[in-house]
Amino acid sequence: MPVLLGGTGHPTLDRASRMVADRSCSVLSLDVFDTILWRRTPRPTDLFALLGARLQRDGISPEWMTPAGFRLARIDAERAARRRPESLGNEVSLFDIWQRMPLPIFAASPAELVQAEVEIERAFTVPDLDIADLIDLAHRSGVPIALVSDTYFTEEQLAYLLDRPELPGLRGARVFRSHQHGLDKASGLWEIVLDQLGCRPEQLLHVGDNPVADHEVPGELGIRTVHYERGDETFTEILDREREPIDIDDPLGEHLDPEQGDFGLTSLRAKILQRADPSALTSVRTAWRFGAAVFGPVLTGFAEWVAQRAHDAGIPVLWCPMREGTLLSALVNNAAQSRGWKVEAKPIWLSRHVTSIAALDPADLDSLRTFVWQRYQLTVRQLLTVLHLRPGDVPVLGELLDTVLDNERTIDTVCAALTETAHLKNRLTVTVTMMRDRLLRELRRAGALVDRELALVDVGWGGTIQHYLAQVLRVANVDVTPTGYYLATDRRSARVYQAGLRIEGYLSQAGHPHEIAATLSRSPEVLEQAVNDLCGSLLDFTEDGSPVLGPAPDSDGQKLERTAAQEGILAFQAEWNRYVTAHEGSWPELTGEARHRLGNILVSALKAPGSEEAAVFGNWGHEDNFGSAAITRVIPEDLTPAVPYLSPNDLDDLSMRDAFWPALLAASDATLGTAARALAHGQIDPRVFEPSGDPFQTRLAFRTADGAWHDGPARRVRINHNGLSFARLDFRSAGGDVTDISLAIPGRPALVRVDWIEVKVFAGGQSTPHVVRWDQPDDFAGLIHAACRWLGGNMIEFEVDESAIWLPVASRVGQPVSSGQVTVAFAMLPKSRTGMGGRLPAASRLVRVSSRAREEYKARGPAGLAAAMARIAVRQLRNSR
């Protein structure tokens, strides 16, 4: 598992700490910027934009000089100063640089402008606490310290920047500045350092961040070095997906705060990622890094916001529903402690499932229907178990016990049966009352009903637990009002507002900002699992109040990865709180404007995950946790074969049940992933991935037992980078009696190569779906071709927009079906709608008849084959007349 190594808490410095502690070096040499001090900005030059904003705020810079414009001018001024003939080599002072600025436009003297830049450097530079520990160790061990820096600051300016309470060990340190000697570290400064220190190269130990100036060049001289890397290639990729500018000439980042820069998040994320154990399993290390770099900062900010909101509102105790409660309460308590806020968070056993049962109105048929519809792939038997009923209590449902509740007729039948008699209504009332009593007993035992306000903390989305809990408390005449503090809420929280309940979101509230809310509610799975305990969801309470939990879906590997993600989250918060504590109230809070940056970190990760993340999180199991026993993978196995057929825009058409994290599916294919990332970043118009001309759709219709056809869903046809197309369509019959499916694959005249069709259906009251495939020439030949022609093999010519093939699903599974999903993978060549183009020859009649016979035999057996042959004979007799 990833761990924090070394005496300083940073594994890179472990070797340096040992050498200093045992005096294996005569002098400890340190770089200054990005080693002893780092800036609360993504790039050093971003500080110029903040200086420009302050000068403009103070009336020194003109209104038309924007922070971005000032930054560019300052960069160019430094370049010009280093190129001037009279400069001391390539080295310049800050005063030299400002002489190249348009001084007449500023309402201040050059000396005042130089001082203003020094002051903002002082305000935004932070002593690195790991390096501070190393300096303290050197001071205690009697090892002299030398500072070697490529800098334009004078000795006095540099001393001012380094005069910090965290760095007392630097007093008396020798300082070597590039401007002082006219040479930087890559072109001769190291020889001067060795000469003036009077030591041999091997007696010097140098720590710095630059791979050339601090590592390669001194190493060639024999100086021992420790490369204190600020960010590796993987972190650069993370910044790139967040659209965070990296190079000096990249434009100003849109999330740079004029008062707090980047709040220190970039440097702290880079620092913490260096602590991942390189010997850990790749999957474990990937999960840890994702927790540390993505979830860690976001949840650290969320915990600070929750603790501050509770502190300001005078709420002493916060309640965090399990299974998220263990981690969330720890995060909130850590935040409150580091900030000095008198707030305590406690985990408590609550779930959507339990509160929805406790809030159920057994006398209201609509309430019962809603309760059933909320469950996914729940069978009648499972529903009875949830309601504490036995099959014998409702004998009329005996033949439906293993039927999936996936259509209106079945649900109406079951709900009517459950409320048909006074006895059953009473049994339901007993179940609801029992659950309500057990829930209230748990709340009282925990102390959650002591105050008039019960403040919940959860990741959020629709405030479901808060909504149902309010109903339970109202019915029980308990004068306590639940309030909610959530990471984000979407538009489903409207019912909570409508009930007059206080509900607040950190990153988004009531679906605003839309991009954050939509992304989180569309792909919440890995975040939810990363904060959950390694246990099943709450199903009930025993008589003594112990929680009754469902099975945990985790494999051993998933448990390790989830644990690693949580450790990464806690590792980042520990590092953040370390700086909060060290700065005694002056460290920036993440409760306000920082939310924009944190929201971008999370949304970018969900929209554009990497291939390593896809390999790890795509295999995680998803538990429905709303009373259903259904467990599926984050990336369902049946979608993997479809990846080569997908277009980036197809990802938006996938439902939550198709893929809990569509972007993760895209990341498993290099080309699709690249296109999806470009689309997510707004670099490409979505229309680029759409066929030219009028749009056309794959359309589904289904026929029921009464012979009537019903329109089903439609999906736009796209042709991807492989020249392939894909459609997935769900259907559901209110009566549960579908016999045939009509599939207009191209939705226009076209030649189509159908690679495969897969239909997954529920039929005959069975809880396990039937899977039927058509992928062989005989399969396609045996279908009914409505206004289209089978050309042999898997080629079909669709002649008009309405042309379709009919799939005899009831025949293939042996009975009518109630609901299902059709997936088709194909390639198409559009044809003219005028009908003037040529027509390819159809397959021979003999081949078509024999293939049709094989399809009839496969679907209906010998009797079906005989009936089919009889129909063919009748048609031939009629034609002969």
Distance CA 427, CA 393 (A): 9
Taking CA atoms, 229 is separated from 277, 864, 869, in Å, by: 15, 73, 77
Distance CA 321, CA 310 (A): 16
**Side-chain half-sphere exposure of 438, counting CA atoms within 13 A:** 23
Among candidates 652, 722, 666, 719, which has minimal Cα distance to 689?
A: 719
Count other C-beta atoms under 10 Å from residue 570's C-beta.
19
pLDDT of 864 reads 52
User: Which CATH number describes the domain made up of 694-843?
Assistant: 2.60.120
438: its two tokens: 């057990």
Exposure string (b/e) for 366-404, b if CB count within 10 Å is 16 or more? Answer: eebbebbeebbbbbbbbbbbbbbbeeeebeebeebbebb
pLDDT of 848 reads 54
866: its two tokens: 């005989």
Taking CA atoms, 617 is separated from 528, 538, 557, 665, 854, in Å, by: 12, 24, 11, 10, 43
pLDDT of 729 reads 93
CATH homologous superfamily for the domain 11-234: HAD superfamily/HAD-like (3.40.50.1000)
Dihedrals φ, ψ of 641, to 5°?
-65, -20
838: its two tokens: 């040529």
Write the burial class of residue 436 (CB in 10 Å: 0-12 exposed, 13-18 middle, 19+ buried).
buried
| Number of residues written out for the chain | 881
**Stretches in the chain below the pLDDT threshold 70:** 1-9, 85-89, 622-631, 765, 834-840, 842-881
pLDDT of 410 reads 81
Tens-digit pLDDT profile for residues 54-110: 999 999 999 999 999 999 999 999 999 988 866 556 789 999 999 999 999 999 999
Write the burial class of residue 258 (CB in 10 Å: 0-12 exposed, 13-18 middle, 19+ buried).
middle
Parse the chain into domains and list their residue ranges: 11-234, 694-843
Strands (E), 261-316: none
Partners of 152 in the beta sheet?
A: none
Task: Output the furthest CA–CA distance in the chain (Å, rounded).
Answer: 117
Strands (E), 793-833: 795-798, 804-807, 817-830
Among candidates 790, 765, 762, 803, which has minimal Cα distance to 855?
A: 790
Read off the amino acid at residue 863. Answer: A
pLDDT of 6 reads 32
Count other C-beta atoms under 10 Å from residue 103's C-beta.
12
Q: Are 567 and 277 in contact (CB under 8 A)?
A: no
Taking CA atoms, 195 is separated from 28, 188, 190, 199, 553, in Å, by: 15, 11, 9, 7, 65
Distance CA 511, CA 135 (A): 49
Taking CA atoms, 840 is separated from 43, 795, 817, 843, 851, in Å, by: 63, 10, 36, 9, 19
804: its two tokens: 């379709």
Q: Are 360 and 367 in contact (CB under 8 A)?
A: yes
Which secondary-structure segment (H or E) carries 789? strand 788-792
Find the angle CA(154)-CA(159)-CA(165) to the nearest 5 degrees. 160
Instruction: Judge if 11-234 and 694-843 fold alike in CATH terms.
Output: no
